[in-house]
Amino acid sequence: MVIKMSEEKAKIAFYWAASCGGCEIAILDLDAAVLDVAAKADIVFWPVAVDTKYHDVESMPDNSIDVTFFNGGIRNSEAVHVAKLLRKKSKFLVAFGSCANFGGVPALANFKSKNSIFERVYKTTPSTVNPQGIYPQTSYKTKEGEVTIPSFFDGVYPLDEVVPVDYYLPGCPPTKKWILAGVTAFLTGELPPKGSVIAEEFALCKECPREKPEKHTVKEFKRTWEIMNIDFEKCLLEQGIICLGPATRGGCEARCIKTNYPCRGCYGPAPNVEDMGAKMISVLGSIIDEKDEAKMAQIIDETPDFAGTIYEFTAGKSVFLRRKQ
């Protein structure tokens, strides 16, 4: 799809919701290419780096921002407000990074309810003194006026659960190659079909350089630190380390695996995979060298933080962990 962008400099916005903000810092990984982008685009909103306010965006005409890169998941009512505002003001909206795409690491909190999170944070942490058990109130009246804060939701949601998203650029953070591909596509107007994921169309194992086994011999799963000599050449799964490569979309060129660390799934589900955790349960079930169902279940039960491992970046999209706002 070729879309003619205006002859003037393009207008780009960035926003940071529930995330660590690493995706915005990754933009600086473009190195000298940042200067090419700066020559062709004006950044009109970027709270982490530019002193712009929400009312600056509110005063912009609708569709006047060419593209917004939105990173972070939706954790509270402020994120919904800004997502809707930027959607209205932008021709294109990109879910930028794992948290905006699938909830990311913050969505691991979806294993807990809002009440249990508040209980822990505001009452039972060892450093907390709160004898009256007071929780933050979303509205408080003072003599100077009413003070409000955003309301905290019962879960973390991907961006496309609150507004329509045009493109998906996953990764924690997305790599330089794909950020540049995405930005270049917008600056040249040569865009892939709407709804595209700006990454590879195959699973990570395909671009992983390690030897894949003919026959599986896995008897148990361990953490990396529990294995003295991890073989740099052989598939990590085959060495008993849970690697999410078979369920993960390719694109990062196996950057973790090249450092002898397993894939944790930050590029999200591979094409045709709906739920990464479910896919990994199926993969692990097929490689464990054990026929007895009870022993198989025991191997999984004894694997530390199994659910957190198979959903490290995608709990916000899990069909098993749906939560209400």
Rounded to whole angstroms, the Cα distance separating 43 from 24 reads: 13
The DSSP secondary structure of 206-267, one letter per residue, reads: GG--SBPPSS--B-----GGG-S---SSB-TGGGT----GGGBB--S-STTGGGT-----TT
Tell me whether residue 11 or residue 210 sits nearer to ligand SF4 (CB atom): 210
205 interacts with ligand SF4 by CB under 6 A: yes
Q: Could you give the 3-state DSSP secondary structure of residue 317?
A: helix
For residues 290-325, one letter each, b for 16 or more C-beta atoms within 10 angstroms of the residue's C-beta and e for the rest, the string is: eeeeeeeeebeeebeebbebbbbbbbbbbeebebee
- 267 touching ligand SF4, by CB under 6 A: yes
Among 19, 90, 248, 303, binds ligand SF4 (CB under 6 A): 248
Taking the least distance from each CB to ligand SF4, the nearer of 26 and 204 is 204
CB of 250 to ligand SF4, least distance (A): 8
Report the residue from 158, 240, 245, 316 that binds ligand SF4 according to the rule CB under 6 A: 245
Find out whether 295 and 123 touch, Cβ atoms under 8 Å.
no
Q: Is 236 in the site for ligand SF4 (CB under 6 A)?
A: yes
Question: Residue 208, interface with ligand SF4 (CB under 6 A)?
Answer: yes
Residue nearest to ligand SF4 as judged by C-beta position: 245
100 binds ligand SF4 (CB under 6 A): no
Is 288 one of the binding residues for ligand SF4 (CB under 6 A)? no
CA–CA distance, 233 with 217 (Å, rounded to integer): 16
Q: Does residue 210 interact with ligand SF4 by CB under 6 A?
A: yes
Query: Which residues make up the interface to ligand SF4 (CB under 6 A)?
Result: 172, 204-205, 208, 210, 212, 235-237, 243, 245-246, 248, 252, 254-257, 263-267
